[in-house]
Amino acid sequence: MVIGDKIKVFSGNANHDLADAVVKCLGIDLAEAKVSQFPDGETRIDIAESVRGSDCFIIQSTCAPVNHNIMELLVFIDALRRASAWRINVVIPYFGYARQDKKVSPREPITAKLVANMLEQAGISRVITIDLHAGQIQGFFDLPVDHLTALDIIGSYLKKTDLSNSVVVSPDIGRATEGRRLANYLGLDLAILYKRRKSPTETAVSHVIGDVEGKRPIIIDDMISTAGTILRGVEALVELGALPEVRVGATHPVFIDPALERLAHPAISEVIVTDTIPYRGHLGKVNVLSVASLLASAIRNVHDNISVSQLFSSLERG
């Protein structure tokens, strides 16, 4: 379906390959803009075509380098606003700072809210994002947020594979709902890892809820950062008699060192992620699925004023 001439899709530097795939799904070209830096590192945006009265979408994950990509997005928004764009929609496949969504100690910032404030003040109209680390971040915005999920994409891929003697494993209580949806969709049982956090970046698995003995685990999470939680979960599962054929699925491949080294563990047979963040590694067991079609459908529906809720998830809810 060809969409209207008044839509403009731009790409920041964080997700250029994904942006190319999205506009290919939409049947249009990327809008022209030069995203560069001044010699001192300041971000420079030059919009190379008229956007007056246009429905504009900026595709930019706020992944590493996080602060630079956030600033680039803010400058992009300001450039479009000052060029008289009708509407400025930000497509943030991976929303950085989402882990700082509440105060754990008395003098901590709530940085997810700060980022939301900055985006709103810059002049956005809407946010489209995928699998926020904390769903309540939607409430940090006083404007529409379309919170999509890649669970359907991962689930559809898994459905086509050998699921005999498998069990879905949630890495913690917080992801149990998504784990149960995937388990129901695949017709599998669910197990849950119970962990305690030792520091902001380190956790320990204390026990496993559910039967995993003799099973092939499928661990599902929203992101893999250092893969510490995944590694400790795999070790705990194998100690309890699970087969050393663990598959790991996650939407966002943050992959901070030593993540790839940990994911190379012989008990992990496959790592399934999406392209919300570019994967530049060389670990052969990593399988990257694309969210381009999902984002293109969301962009088309928003532009045409069609409901986006049908894209949230087709997996069983409850």
Catalytic residues: 195
Q: Tell me how far CA of residue 273 lies from CA of 144, 162, 185, 224, 243, in angstroms.
A: 27, 18, 18, 9, 22
Grouping H, G, I as helix, E, B as strand and the rest as coil, residue 263 is helix
Angstrom distance (rounded) from CA 125 to CA 127: 7
The answer to whether the beta carbons of residues 169 and 216 sit under 8 Å apart is no
Tokens of 160: 């086509």
Tokens of 80: 């479009």
The answer to whether the beta carbons of residues 298 and 311 sit under 8 Å apart is yes
Q: No. of H helices and E strands in the chain? A: 8, 14
Continuous H helices in the chain: 16-26, 66-82, 111-122, 151-159, 176-186, 228-239, 259-263, 292-303
Query: Is the peptide bond preceding residue 65 cis, with omega within 30 degrees of 0?
Result: yes
How many CB atoms are located within 10 Å of the residue 46 CB?
Answer: 10
Tokens of 268: 């992990």
